Amino acid sequence: MASSKVIEILGKEGEDLLKHECKTISKNLLHLPGADFVERCFAPTNRNIQVMRNLEAIYNHGRLAGTGYVSILPVDQGIEHSAGASFAPNPIFFDPENIVKLAVEGGCNAVASTYGVLASCARKYAHQIPFIVKINHNEFLSYPNRYNQIMFGSVEEAWNIGAAAVGATIYFGSPESDQQIIEVAQAFERAHELGMATILWCYLRNNGFKKDGVDYHVATDITAQANHLGVTIQADIIKQKITRKQWWIYRYQFW
């Protein structure tokens, strides 16, 4: 595709997004994706052989296999946003098997979902596509609604259904974030002991991040700090929302 067409699709910000050159950090210092990404970036760490094998399974599955990039289908919205709101437009996805089948047929690197979804079809699919069990959720039924991530099961349960990795969310900046950091750090330690990789949804949640009608939850500086905290508790893969503040020209998304 011609560069002019790419700029046209990206709109008014296309020129900046494509031609921006960061002067703060040299690109030579970045660990870029590639076929050897797992060996290059994880082999020097404390990850054991089983963790390395499961990371390789994720990075080398599906259409993006061997590129150093991953495309993971995450479907835990039945808890986070209610099953009706999430699946009523597509009723076939009330059947958990169809979620996994979609990931398989779509050539995803892995499928991430709840204990219930993945356990219900583990014997049929755990060997066909890497499973990522989401171990905490916002339970959503409290009124008024609370926004807290609580544990829904154990890391051992994820291991028993053949998961390649566990995933969790931390709402950094929230009143409950201290508790979530401790719980997830302990869970990730146990997951690594059992040979599973770890994936963290590094989201921000604090009313103080909204000021003068502007939502800074996706500003580059504080989302980057959340990512830093995530890798500090040994998350192997970070999920972050695309930054959207217009004065930040350099934008990125993990995953």
Catalytic residues: 239
233 to each of 157, 160, 194, 230, how far by Cα in Å?
A: 21, 23, 16, 6
Contact 76, 137 (CB under 8 A): yes
d(CA 40, CA 33): 10
From the number of C-beta atoms within 10 Å of its C-beta (0-12, 13-18, 19+), residue 69 rates as: middle
61 to each of 2, 66, 182, how far by Cα in Å?
A: 30, 8, 31
d(CA 32, CA 56): 16
Count of beta carbons in the 10 Å neighbourhood of residue 39: 13
The region that residue 242 occupies, defined by phi over 0 for left and psi between -120 and 50 for alpha, beta otherwise, is beta
What are the phi and psi torsion angles at 11 (to 5°)? 85, -155
DSSP assignment of 123-175 = HHHTTTS-EEEE-EE----SSS-----EE-S-HHHHHHTT-SEEEEEEEETST
